[in-house]
A and B are shown apart, each in its own frame.
Chain A
Amino acid sequence: MESIAWMAWTLPTAIFFALLACTLAVMTYLAAAYPEAERVGVLRIPTTRGDRVFISLILAAVIHLLWIGLIGTDAIAMLPVGEEGLEISSLWLATAISLVMAVIVFRTV
């Protein structure tokens, strides 16, 4: 662990990157196992699954930043975990919106 101390890992960012790596691994597997055809959707551009993942990820980043900038990150709920409870930030709503948007992107773009 000493050798990667400079990378300043934290559990949340590690989980984030692990999920990202899983997504990419699944996409790689899908592309190899089930080759697909390009499709033209509402944006009128040909897209593949990879393009749609890219658009979804960029959209998720923008949605989260807009949420932080315009709405903020106040707590919306408390989970009864531990002694003080676990605060649930309203930012998770942005995450939910991002997931819905990702589904929409995969269906329509």
Chain B
Amino acid sequence: MEKTINQKAWFLVLPVFLLVAFSAVLPLMTVVNYSMQDTFGNNQFFWNGVGWFKELLDPSTDLGSRFFASLWRNLFFSAAILAIEVPLGIVIALSMPRQGWQVAACLVILALPLLIPWNVVGTIWQIFGRPDIGLLGYALNSLGINYNYVSNDFDAWATVIVMDVWHWTSLVALLCYAGLKSIPEAYYQAAQIDGASRWAVFAAIQLPKMNRVLLIAVLLRFMDSFMIYTEPFVVTGGGPGNSTTFISIELVKIALGQFDLGKAAAMSLVYNLIILIVCWVFYTVMTNAGVERPMKEKKP
């Protein structure tokens, strides 16, 4: 007989559930209601069935083309920042000091960008990158590189990505550092006795031990970058053209700019579903990675 799980402790989270019901579940239900209807304001709603979803999932319509364009853009952005931030964070964590006053100094310096609010980060880079008064923009242009994030797609993308790397690599580094600190000294001593190379120590001891914290880092960074709004909105405003209009910027444009609550609700539900699936897959894969489990024999 296999051990059963007693789930009764979950009743203890009932108060939290009630709180969440007011702050999240009721609004989410409202979004579902909106997604099935059209409104011209004044709380007057008209039944539209799955009409908005049809439009949303059809790339030949205006809504569908905007949705898919911003979705691919956003996925590319998330992939780009993850590809930079995770390896960079690991390298920073590995090269941080292990003892002495330098530890505290490093931690404080690394934590600084994390303490700055999104809109301030956006404003910093918006000014930093300006060709006329910004240090970065002026320096690049003086070097003969034609850099202007307002008019050039590539420059806008580079600015937004570098800004995100500047803002959030510290998070990955701090998480990895916490993972590294938890490795007992005996592991390193054993590796030294075996004459393991620096790379072997990293691949066989440090990386596996950082597995969990890396999962958290990747999840956090993916979700954060997939719903990024403030920073690109402040720096580029989604431009030039629509080149840095990420999915949440598009969503706000539709919901609050055009006041198309039905379209925006349908879009946010699909957006939500994507995030839910990605999180579930990430979590399941990483928590089960490396665990060998034989499939249970079927009883005849």
Contacts and interface: CB of A to CB of B under 8 A. Distances in A.
Interface in B36-87: 36-37, 39, 43, 45, 47, 49-50, 53-54, 57-58
Contacts of A86: none
Given A35-B6, A45-B284, A45-B288, A65 B296 contact: no
Band of interface residues on A: 35 or more
Given A44-B293, A58-B280, A32 B8 contact: yes
B47 A61 contact: no
Interface string B101-129: 00000000000000000000000000000
Interface in A38-90: 38-42, 44-46, 48, 50, 54, 58, 61-62, 65, 68-69, 72-73, 89
Contacts of B4: 35-37
A53 B280 CA distance: 13
A42 B298 CA distance: 12
Contacts of B57: 65, 68-69
A38 to B, nearest CB: 7
Contacts of A5: 43
B36 A13 contact: yes
B270 interface: yes
Contact of A58 (B30, B36, B273): B273
Contact of A91 (B43, B50, B58): B50
A101 to B, nearest CB: 15
Band of interface residues on B: 35 or more
B193 interface: no
B277 interface: yes
A32 B10 CA distance: 10
B147 interface: no
B226 interface: no
Given A32-B7, A69-B57, A9 B2 contact: no
A69 B58 CA distance: 6
B34 interface: yes
B26 interface: yes
B87 to A, nearest CB: 28
A9 to B, nearest CB: 6
B201 interface: no
Given A7-B26, A12-B36, A38 B293 contact: no
B296 A39 contact: yes
25 contacts: A7-B29, A7-B33, A8-B43, A8-B45, A9-B33, A10-B33, A13-B29, A13-B32, A13-B33, A16-B32, A31-B8, A32-B7, A37-B5, A38-B2, A39-B296, A40-B295, A45-B284, A45-B288, A46-B288, A54-B280, A62-B273, A65-B273, A68-B53, A73-B50, A91-B50
Interface of B: 2-8, 10-11, 26, 29-30, 32-34, 36-37, 39, 43, 45, 47, 49-50, 53-54, 57-58, 270, 273, 276-277, 280, 284, 288, 293, 295-296
Interface of A: 5-10, 12-13, 16-17, 31-32, 35-42, 44-46, 48, 50, 54, 58, 61-62, 65, 68-69, 72-73, 89, 91
